[in-house]
Chains A and B, each alone.
Chain A
Amino acid sequence: MKKSIGVRIWRISIIAVVSFYLLMPLYAMFDFSTKQFGLGGKSRNLDSWRIIPSQPDLMIAISRSLLTALIVMALILFLIVPTAIWVHLKLPLLRRPFELLCLIPLAIPAIVIVVGIAPLYRWISINLTESPITLSGVYSMLILPYTYRSLSAALDAVDIHTLAEAARTLGASFARVIFGIIMPTIKTGIINGSFIAIALVLGEYTISNILNYKTFQVVIAQIGRANGNVAVAVSLASLLFVLFLLLLIPNKKRLGTVLDVDVK
């Protein structure tokens, strides 16, 4: 009994310390965003938050970044996930090279990537469109290390070969096996990968700024130069939004209990 109380206290202490560590910066940001500096003294108000919607370019940048994130998610769902499944199912010898390929964006600094892709984006902006949505191409490459690891772990956790063969013998086409059987089975891995991708897309600054696209982070930086309180308020709001998305990642709780008695 004593031991369980001790364990509980220990757990609560750890949670308290970690929560303090994580929440303190957020509180500091909120504190800063509500402070009024200048001749008026130290009054507090929510003006910085109220004027967020009226910031020039901000709402457009948010909607563009969200749209870019959605496109990246679609690319994950319809390109990266089926490719990862196909490699696991049909091309096991390519697993290592594919994994290595997916890790490359992690090893190359963003600035180097920008230098490499700048001519391509220059051509796109001249000949096709200037929309920042085109960044979804480079973003879908940047998120590969995180998304692939998440997918690979999910694929390794289940016997997808047997599931695929079972579905095939029942009459399923390969497309149906991938989209109807394997993808729902590794749903948690896909959702995890997708949310991490959204967080990365909404937070990316270097590439979009250097390529001169007005994305969410770029606009926040511009606002920050004019009004620090509003910039911090917007940053906090975006952090809370991403945090909210991450909290949506389902915690795969098993429903019911396993019966250990065979019923005849």
Chain B
Amino acid sequence: MSSSPYVQLNNLAKHFGKVKALDGLSLDIAEGELVALLGPSGCGKTTALRALAGLQELDRGLMIVDGKDVTFQSANKRGMGMVFQAYSLFPHMTARDNVEYGLKLKAHRTSGDKRKARSNELLELVGLSTHANHYPHQLSGGQQQRIALARALAISPKVLLLDEPLSALDAKVRTQLREEIRRIQLELGTTTLFVTHDQEEALSIADRVGVMRNGQLEQIAAPDELYDRPGTAFVAEFVGLTNPISGVVSKGAIELLDSTVKTLRGSITTGQGIALVRPENIEVVASKSSNATVFSASFLGASCRLSITLNDGTRVTAQLPSSDAVGLGAGAPVKVSLLDRPVFVKPLI
């Protein structure tokens, strides 16, 4: 027996003038799952999140949460916890008052002692129990977003909605906080929808990542599947880096760089096409019987990225462990081949 999804978004549509922000978006989220919506600016990911929060009216569609139709329910009755991109702590309240705010309202009213215990618990959870009496202006950006997360979680939300909550933070804090978000989400088992344009962020913490384009869900899958087996050319090119290399497809395989590799589902089935090859799927070895020359090398720490010019003039990027790239400096003759991993092939335009 399969249980129905905890959150169901069915055929959501929203137009802003002539712009289609959502164009028949459908998405299911299981209870306790963290789904990230990823996509370029204007693809509709934030509109979808705001619609689920009740902050955006829809032209069409149905939203079901925990078996209840919430499509026309007002935002203050939906019981969604939301963390915004902009700092949104109430400036006239301390961190504790912010966390307790939702618990004082009719929708989630809790007695004084329980409220204090809950705020203590959540401030502890986000590691800011010593900052309970600080005002927002006394907190750094990362701390404010932690308190905002605690405030959203205080009401035990049906769904936690995260609208690019890390984008205003610097790189180090962003990495630190995204790991904390995942830890807390796993600890509490809160169903979460996370909107971001940062693919590293999405791939690193989500159970499933949905890639959106023009108001529609292009593909939704586990991060590794999305990366290794993209269903469309857009997903292949949007998530991670790819090298477009032309070749001929026949019988579910393509010949590239003296190698034959299988093609992924959704690729063209026959004829000339462009394979989208991941940099780490290109094998590079120093060789005098070379078919390419290293144009430049970028040291990235654990790995090294090589820009390589093939004998036919095509430029490709390869990424390999730094230990394998020793001696592969600019001008070095190399032999380039492909690892036996399937690639997505799009038609020649």
Q: Which residues of A contact B (CB under 8 A)?
A: 158-159, 162-163, 165-173, 176, 181, 184-185, 187, 254-264
B76 and A168 form a contact (CB under 8 A): yes
Taking a contact as CB atoms closer than 8 A, the residue among A168, A257, A260 that contacts B55 in the complex is: A168
Q: How far is the CA of A185 from the CA of B137 in the complex (A)?
A: 13
A171 and B76 form a contact (CB under 8 A): yes
Residues of B within 8 A of A166 (CB): 82, 84, 88, 90, 148, 151
A162 and B88 form a contact (CB under 8 A): yes
- Could you list 22 examples of A-B contacts with CB < 8 Å? A159-B88, A162-B87, A165-B55, A165-B84, A166-B148, A167-B101, A168-B55, A169-B53, A169-B80, A169-B81, A169-B82, A170-B151, A170-B152, A171-B79, A171-B105, A181-B90, A184-B90, A259-B138, A262-B140, A263-B128, A263-B131, A263-B143
CB contact under 8 A between A258 and B84, given known A169-B55, A184-B92, A185-B91: no
Residues of B within 8 A of A255 (CB): 135, 138
Q: How far is the CA of A262 from the CA of B77 in the complex (A)?
A: 34
CB contact under 8 A between A263 and B127, given known A170-B102, A170-B151, A171-B108: yes
Shortest beta-carbon distance from A171 to chain B in Å: 3
CB contact under 8 A between A261 and B88, given known A168-B75, A171-B155: no
Residues of B within 8 A of A187 (CB): 92
Shortest beta-carbon distance from A197 to chain B in Å: 22
Q: How far is the CA of A162 from the CA of B168 in the complex (A)?
A: 14
Q: Which 3 A-B pairs have the closest CB atoms?
A: A171-B107, A170-B102, A262-B142
CB contact under 8 A between A256 and B86, given known A169-B80, A262-B176, A263-B127: no
Q: Is the interface of A mostly helix, strand, loop or mixed?
A: loop
**Residue among A163, A184, A257 having the largest count of chain B Cβ atoms under 10 Å:** A163
Shortest beta-carbon distance from A184 to chain B in Å: 4
Residues of A within 8 A of B76 (CB): 168-173
Q: Is B173 an interface residue, CB under 8 A from the partner?
A: yes
**Residue among A158, A169, A181 having the largest count of chain B Cβ atoms under 10 Å:** A169
Residues of B within 8 A of A162 (CB): 84, 86-88
Shortest beta-carbon distance from A167 to chain B in Å: 7
Q: How far is the CA of A166 from the CA of B161 in the complex (A)?
A: 11
B137 and A258 form a contact (CB under 8 A): yes
Residues of B within 8 A of A173 (CB): 76
B105 and A170 form a contact (CB under 8 A): yes
Q: How far is the CA of A159 from the CA of B88 in the complex (A)?
A: 8
B134 and A260 form a contact (CB under 8 A): no
Q: How far is the CA of A161 from the CA of B173 in the complex (A)?
A: 26
The residue of chain B having its C-beta at the shortest distance from the C-beta of A256 within the complex is: B138
A185 and B108 form a contact (CB under 8 A): no
Q: How far is the CA of A243 from the CA of B28 in the complex (A)?
A: 63
Residues of B within 8 A of A159 (CB): 86-88
Shortest beta-carbon distance from B211 to chain A in Å: 26
CB contact under 8 A between A185 and B92, given known A165-B75, A169-B78, A259-B138: yes
Residues of B within 8 A of A264 (CB): 127, 176
CB contact under 8 A between A171 and B91, given known A258-B140, A260-B140, A263-B127: no
The residue of chain B having its C-beta at the shortest distance from the C-beta of A165 within the complex is: B55
Residues of A within 8 A of B151 (CB): 166, 170
